[in-house]
Amino acid sequence: MATTKAQQKAVNKFVREHYDRFSITTPIGTKDAVQRHTATTGESMQGFILRAIRETMRRDQHKSCIMDDGIQPAILDYEQQRLQKTYEQRKAIIDATSYCGNIRTENPVWHDRKENKKAGE
């Protein structure tokens, strides 16, 4: 189907108004490597690059690091639950190995509690 100049002009105007455009410069051979990779996954180069950008932004957004202003970004609920579960599992292991009959390992947390009891607290 042949398009007229007016149709192409309308399409170009729509694209300018609704999409951002940017280009990247990479070392020679990178484009070929990306094309080979996307051919194996059945994805377009644009789709692959957009997915890589989205995944990297999502991963960077959810890192639990302190920002320059001292504010710690919020962690997703499922991540918070996973961290809490891991903490509880590790605490259970420490508690279980701290009092194993004659095979007692010194746990600094329990050691500090004994010291506090001796001091009368």
What is the CB neighbour count within 10 angstroms for residue 63?
8
pLDDT for position 58? 81
Euclidean distance between CA atoms 106 and 91, whole angstroms: 14
Closest CA to 45 of 27, 29, 55, 33: 33
Give 62-112 pLDDT, tens digit per residue.
665 545 555 555 555 667 777 788 888 877 777 766 655 555 555 555 555
Residue pair 98/111 in contact (Cβ under 8 Å)? The answer is no
What is the model's pTM?
0.45
pLDDT tens track for 6-59: 999 999 999 999 999 888 899 999 999 999 999 998 999 999 999 998 888 887
Q: Is the dihedral of CA 105, 108, 113, 119 positive or negative?
A: positive
